[in-house]
Amino acid sequence: MDQAELNEEQKSVVRRYLEVWRRFRRLPDRQSGFVALEDDMNKGSGMLLCGLLVEAQASRVITADVKDSRFYAAIFGNDDRATPDMTAEELHQARQYIVYGKGSSPVRQSWAKPPLPSQDSTLLSGKPGC
């Protein structure tokens, strides 16, 4: 791995990218080698275990995502069609949060609303899954 060190702001971009990526791919924090992210980033530029290519000297610290190139294109390439599972509002919020550190991490619109009582069968029958 190239020893060009990542500064704290660059590490923050990587953390925010992975936070949003995990949320929209419904992955827990420990999946796919994210546990050792800090140690991995402290080694400097290069390919991280999570599949991100990071380069401290590049104009944007994350230069590729080999595991999810469509998500990368949506965030850094402004390709609104790359992630059809995200709304335009979710993408805008994700870009602002990841790239600029503005706002908060987006929450998937469909997850933000609890089900209506008539949609929850456990409220009607008292038995889960009926």
Domain ranges of the chain: 8-125
Tens of pLDDT, residue by residue over 83-109, are 998 999 999 999 999 999 999 988 876
Average pLDDT score, the chain: 81
The pLDDT value recorded for residue 108 is 75
Report which of residues 66 and 114 the model is more confident about. Answer: 66
Local structure of residue 47 (DSSP, 8 states): E
The torsion angle over the Cα atoms of residues 22, 67, 95 and 55, rounded to 10 degrees, is: 120
The pLDDT value recorded for residue 91 is 94
Contact 62, 68 (CB under 8 A): no
CA–CA gap between residue 74 and residue 87 (Å, rounded): 11
Tens of pLDDT, residue by residue over 42-66, are 999 999 988 999 999 999 999 999 9
